[in-house]
Amino acid sequence: MALPLTYNIRNVLVRWRATLATILGVALVVAVYVLVQALAVGLEKSSRNTGDPRNVMIVRKGSTAESSSQVTREQLRLIQYWPEIARDESGHPLVSADVLVLINLIRRDEKGEANVLVRGISPLGMNLRPQVSLVTGRWFVPGKREVVVARRLADRIANFEIGQRFKSAGQELTVVGFMDGQNSAFDSEVWMDADEARSVFDRDNYSSVLVRVLSDAAANSLTNKMEVDKRLPLRGMPEVSYYSAQTMTATPIKILGNFLATAMSIGAVFAAMNTMYASVGSRTREIGTLRVLGFRRRSILLSFLFEGAFLALVGGIIGCLLSLPMNGYATGTMSFESFSEIIFQFRITPWLATKGLVFSVLVGVIGSFLPALRAARLPVIAALKSV
């Protein structure tokens, strides 16, 4: 015979002080777990949200990122007129040879410095990245030492307002516009003309080449041609796949989140255990009476496990609610791929909230098991004689 659920819920309300302490402990654990995991989810979403499925990214073989790649001008001349590459209305190949440079700038709050990624793009580079749009100001004019910065990045770096100048590589660069990358990796970049970037930062070669192909078959043909051509130690992959693979930064954050959750959950387990032991001690005669009324030990064990799980679930719900205001909040960290400042948003997904709730229930069940086992094993006569 199972115990009615109202019995456990009423006991939770009677001992509200101990109950509240346990609920708040679990809530803080879940809130920290969800927020740290939301950082990793935001980083992954930023990378996976970048790129166009029609584009192919070309980098040097063996390089893990554009920042460690080199494509020579001779190699670019060999590639850009291949028949697999699409053309614009004027007949120009849709190709952008990009230059990536890491520069060090002062943060807006003047609390240290940050590495910022400058991307030099070819004249058709903007057409290949339709998810990037100009929101304020104008696009840069080649030859005038002008740049366009990501709007979210401008909020974190000094001298990034429109009309302001900043110095790098002995040259002054002027900000002439803000762009929006729709929560992609481009929200962490500064754009300027590619050949001007090579001149300013003294680079002989390009970092990567982005091309628009005619079809999936053309993409396969292009990558196969590079594989067999000994003059081209390059490799090509879909741009979307390239950025999806750039999620190394999220891994340490996930590990940190799991470590913090594990460490804090130990404290939450002991808090739940303490509450449940106190509950068992104060209800010894009730437990003896339940046994006399015919309730089995298994029913009492499950009843107390349910009570602990219920307390933890309430704490988990509160923890998820505490973390919700951070959803969509923009922040930044260092990318382990490019070692530059990367801008992203906290992303609290339904799946992540569900994981937080499941985690809280597990904490409650583990913390309640020993007290529930003690309650189930209480001798009937001794329980009835307790004061």
pLDDT of residue 342: 66
Judge whether 66 and 207 are in contact, CB under 8 Å. Answer: yes
Q: Which residues pair with 333 in a beta bridge?
A: 342
Q: Is the pLDDT of residue 307 over 80?
A: no
Please state the rounded mean pLDDT for residues 151-160. Answer: 87
Structure tokens at 342: 């990367």
pLDDT digits (tens, 9 = 90+) for 90-99: 888 999 999 9
Q: Is residue 322 part of a domain?
A: yes
Q: Which residues pair with 118 in a beta bridge?
A: 101, 190
Backbone angles phi, psi at 14, to 5 degrees: -65, -45
Give the Cα-Cα-Cα angle 248, 128, 87 (nearest 5 degrees): 140
pLDDT digits (tens, 9 = 90+) for 61-90: 888 778 788 999 999 988 888 899 999 888
How would you label 79-114 residue by residue, b for 16+ Cβ within 10 Å and e otherwise?
bbebebbbeeeeeebbbbbbbbbebebeeeeeeeeb
Q: pLDDT category, 2, cuts 50, 70, 90?
A: low
**Judgement on whether residues 224 and 254 belong to the same structural domain of the protein:** no
pLDDT of residue 252: 65
Report how far residue 211's alpha carbon sits from residue 233's, in angstroms, rounded to the nearest whole number: 17
Where is mean pLDDT largest: 95-99, 153-157, 236-240? 95-99
Q: pLDDT category, 141, cuts 50, 70, 90?
A: very high
Domain end (from 232, 257, 283): 232
Structure tokens at 316: 């988990």
Domain end (from 232, 267, 283): 232
Question: Would you state the torsion angle of the CA atoms of residues 336, 40, 26, 351, taken in this order, to the nearest 10 degrees?
Answer: -160
pTM (two decimals): 0.71
Q: Is residue 290 part of a domain?
A: yes
pLDDT of residue 178: 95
Q: Is residue 330 part of a domain?
A: yes
**Judgement on whether residues 207 and 349 belong to the same structural domain of the protein:** no
pLDDT digits (tens, 9 = 90+) for 320-361: 898 888 877 666 565 655 555 666 677 888 888 888 888 888
pLDDT of residue 164: 92
Structure tokens at 113: 């410095």
Nearest of 196, 221, 224, 226 to residue 209 by alpha carbon:
226
**Judgement on whether residues 212 and 312 belong to the same structural domain of the protein:** no
Q: Please, what is the average pLDDT of the chain?
A: 80
**Judgement on whether residues 257 and 301 belong to the same structural domain of the protein:** yes
Q: Is residue 190 part of a domain?
A: yes
**Judgement on whether residues 356 and 269 belong to the same structural domain of the protein:** yes
Judge whether 33 and 261 are in contact, CB under 8 Å. Answer: yes
Report how far residue 293's alpha carbon sits from residue 302's, in angstroms, rounded to the nearest whole number: 17
Q: Which residues pair with 34 in a beta bridge?
A: none
DSSP state of 228: H
**Judgement on whether residues 226 and 101 belong to the same structural domain of the protein:** yes
Q: pLDDT category, 382, cuts 50, 70, 90?
A: low
Please tell me the least confidently modeled range out of 35-44, 46-55, 224-233, 271-280: 271-280
Q: pLDDT category, 280, cuts 50, 70, 90?
A: low
Q: Is residue 308 part of a domain?
A: yes
pLDDT digits (tens, 9 = 90+) for 166-181: 888 788 999 999 999 8
Backbone angles phi, psi at 120, to 5 degrees: -90, 125
**Judgement on whether residues 279 and 219 belong to the same structural domain of the protein:** no
pLDDT of residue 362: 84
Report how far residue 260's alpha carbon sits from residue 31's, in angstroms, rounded to the nearest whole number: 11
Backbone angles phi, psi at 240, to 5 degrees: -60, -40
Structure tokens at 49: 């949200």
pLDDT of residue 33: 82
**Judgement on whether residues 303 and 371 belong to the same structural domain of the protein:** yes
Please state the rounded mean pLDDT for residues 243-264. Answer: 67
Question: Which residues form the domain of 213?
Answer: 62-232
Report how far residue 278's alpha carbon sits from residue 299's, in angstroms, rounded to the nearest whole number: 19
Give Cα 200 to chain centroid, integer Å. 33
Please state the rounded mean pLDDT for residues 270-290. Answer: 64
Please tell me the least confidently modeled range out of 80-84, 116-120, 203-207, 377-381: 377-381
**Judgement on whether residues 102 and 40 belong to the same structural domain of the protein:** no
The fraction of the chain above a pLDDT of 90, given in percent, is 19
What's the total number of domains in the chain?
Answer: 2
Helix 297-323 crosses helix 284-292 at what angle (to 10 degrees)?
A: 130
Q: Tokens 């700038």 map to which residue? A: 105
Structure tokens at 334: 């260092």
Quickly list DSSP for 239-254. HHHHHHH--TTHHHHH
Report how far residue 19's alpha carbon sits from residue 17's, in angstroms, rounded to the nearest whole number: 5
Report how far residue 357's alpha carbon sits from residue 350's, in angstroms, rounded to the nearest whole number: 11
Q: pLDDT category, 55, cuts 50, 70, 90?
A: very high
pLDDT of residue 137: 92
pLDDT of residue 16: 66
